[in-house]
C-alpha cells in the first residue's frame, strides 16, 4: 500500500469520527460560514509573483520540517511578504496540521487561505468553509471524475475556489471541467517522492488557458519560477523552502523581493 492509499484509509476513519461528533448543521451555523471569501485564482491572475506560501510542520517525505511555528505569526509574516495566498495543511497524522491552524490564520490575516487536505468527502468541504478557508485542494489521484465534479460544484456553491492537483497526463484528462479555477501540477512523484519540474513543463501544453496554472513542490529558487513562467504558470506553491527556516515570513519576504528585482 503506497503512502497516498494509507492516508486515504486513515482519512475515512477520521471523517466518520468527526461526523459523529460535529453534525453538518453545526458546521453550517459557524460564524465564518457566511463570510465573503477572497479569490485565490483572482489574486494569482493579478500578481507579478504568484507565490502561495505554505504552513507545513512535517511530511511523510521529511519527518520534521518545523515543529516550533506559531501559525498566526507565520500567516502575518507571509501577508507582510506580499504572498498571493497561504496554503495550510490540516492533516494531523501525516503533516502535523489541524483545522485550528486554519482558524488561527483566518483570525490573523485577510488574504486567501487554501485548505490543503486529502478531500474525499463533502463533509470536509463544509468544514473548510466553516473554518475560514477561501479555497480547497482536490487531488485527482484519489478521486474519480464523478467525485471531482461533485466536490468542485459543491465548493463553487459555497464561493470557494478550487485547486485541482494532478501528477500526470491521465489525471489531467479526467479532471478538466468548468467548476475548477486552478490546475496544479505536483512535481513530486508520490510513489518515489522524487521531484522534477519537467512534470510542470510537459503538462503545461495540455492545460487549457481558462485555468490558472499552479506549479507545486520542488520550487526553491527564483530561476525555477522564471523558467516556469515561460510555460504559462501564474501560481507557485512553496512550503518547505520557507518553513525550514526560523522565520518563514522573513524568508518569504526576501524571496519575493529577489523575484521582483
Catalytic residue among 11, 56, 79, 129: 56
pLDDT tens per residue across span 176-188? 999 999 999 999 8
Banded pLDDT at 19 (limits 50, 70, 90) = very high
In the block, which residue shows the cell 483545522? 99
Confirm whether 216 is a catalytic residue.
Answer: yes
Indicate whether 66 pLDDT > 70.
no
Average of per-residue pLDDT values in the chain = 94
Cα distance between residue 188 and residue 167, in whole Å: 8
Q: What Cα–Cα distance (Å) separates residue 195 from each residue in 50, 83, 189, 198, 241? A: 20, 23, 6, 9, 14
pLDDT tens per residue across span 43-61? 999 999 999 999 998 877 7
Indicate whether 103 pLDDT > 90.
yes
Catalytic residue among 59, 217, 240, 251: 217
Show the 3-state SS of the chain.
CCHHHHHHHHHHHHHHHHHHHCCHHHHHCCHHHHCCCCCHHHHHHCCCCCEEEEECCCCCCCCCCCCCCCHHHHHHHHHHHCCCEEEEECCCCCCCCCHHHHHHHHHHCCCCEEEECCCCCHHHHHHHHHCCCCEEEEEHHHCCHHHHHHHHHHHHHCCCEEEEEECCHHHHHHHCCCCCCEEEEECECCCCCCECCHHHHHHHCCCCCCCEEEEECCCCCHHHHHHHHCCCEEEEEECHHHHCCCCHHHHHHHHHHHHHC
Indicate whether 151 pLDDT > 70.
yes
Indicate whether 167 pLDDT > 70.
yes
Cα distance between residue 100 and residue 71, in whole Å: 9
**Residue 193 is placed in which grid cell?**
517522492
Question: Other C-beta atoms within 10 Å of 188: how many?
Answer: 17
Catalytic residue among 11, 59, 152, 165: 165
Range of lowest pLDDT (44-58, 64-78, 202-216, 230-244): 64-78
Confirm whether 80 is a catalytic residue.
Answer: no
pLDDT reported for residue 105:
98
pLDDT reported for residue 165:
97
**Residue 123 is placed in which grid cell?**
463533509
> Which value, to the nearest 10 degrees, does the dihedral of the CA atoms of residues 92, 96, 100, 106 take?
-130
pLDDT reported for residue 1:
65
Banded pLDDT at 65 (limits 50, 70, 90) = low
Confirm whether 122 is a catalytic residue.
Answer: no
Catalytic residue among 87, 121, 152, 186: 186
Domains contained in the chain, CATH given: 3-260 (3.20.20.70)
Q: What Cα–Cα distance (Å) separates residue 251 from each residue in 30, 44, 83, 227, 241? A: 34, 20, 12, 21, 8
Mean pLDDT value of segment 131-145 = 97
Mean pLDDT value of segment 115-138 = 98
Banded pLDDT at 222 (limits 50, 70, 90) = very high
- Of all residues in the chain, the percent with pLDDT exceeding 90 is 87
Would you say 69 and 243 are in contact if contact means Cβ atoms under 8 Å apart? Answer: yes
Catalytic residue among 117, 127, 171, 216: 216
* Strand-pair category, 85-89 with 135-139: unpaired
pTM, rounded to two decimals: 0.96
Catalytic residue among 11, 79, 87, 116: 116
Amino acid at each position: 500500500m503506497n503512502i497516498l492509499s494509507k492516508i486515504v484509509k486513515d482519512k475515512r476513519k477520521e471523517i466518520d469520527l468527526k461526523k459523529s461528533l460535529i453534525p453538518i448543521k453545526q458546521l453550517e451555523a459557524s460564524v465564518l460560514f457566511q463570510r465573503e471569501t477572497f479569490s485565490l485564482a483572482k489574486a494569482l491572475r493579478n500578481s507579478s509573483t504568484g507565490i502561495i506560501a505554505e504552513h507545513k510542520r512535517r511530511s511523510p517525505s521529511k519527518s520534521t520540517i518545523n515543529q516550533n511555528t506559531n501559525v498566526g505569526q507565520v500567516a502575518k509574516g507571509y501577508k507582510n511578504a506580499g504572498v498571493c495566498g497561504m496554503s495550510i495543511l490540516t492533516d494531523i497524522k501525516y503533516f502535523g496540521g489541524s483545522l485550528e491552524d486554519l482558524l488561527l490564520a483566518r483570525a490573523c490575516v485577510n488574504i486567501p487561505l487554501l485548505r490543503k487536505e486529502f478531500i474525499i468527502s463533502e463533509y470536509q468541504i463544509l468544514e473548510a468553509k466553516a473554518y475560514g478557508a477561501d479555497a480547497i485542494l482536490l487531488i485527482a489521484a484519489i478521486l474519480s471524475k464523478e467525485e471531482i465534479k461533485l466536490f468542485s460544484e459543491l465548493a463553487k456553491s459555497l464561493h470557494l475556489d478550487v485547486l485541482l492537483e494532478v501528477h500526470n497526463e491521465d489525471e489531467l484528462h479526467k479532471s478538466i471541467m468548468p467548476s475548477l479555477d486552478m490546475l496544479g501540477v505536483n512535481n513530486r512523484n508520490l510513489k518515489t517522492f522524487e521531484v522534477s519540474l519537467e512534470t510542470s513543463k510537459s503538462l503545461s501544453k495540455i492545460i487549457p488557458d481558462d485555468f490558472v496554472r499552479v506549479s507545486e513542490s520542488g520550487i526553491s529558487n527564483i530561476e525555477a519560477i522564471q523558467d516556469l513562467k515561460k510555460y504559462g504558470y501564474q501560481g507557485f506553491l512553496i512550503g518547505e523552502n520557507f518553513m525550514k527556516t526560523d522565520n518563514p515570513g522573513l524568508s518569504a519576504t526576501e524571496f519575493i523581493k529577489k523575484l521582483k528585482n
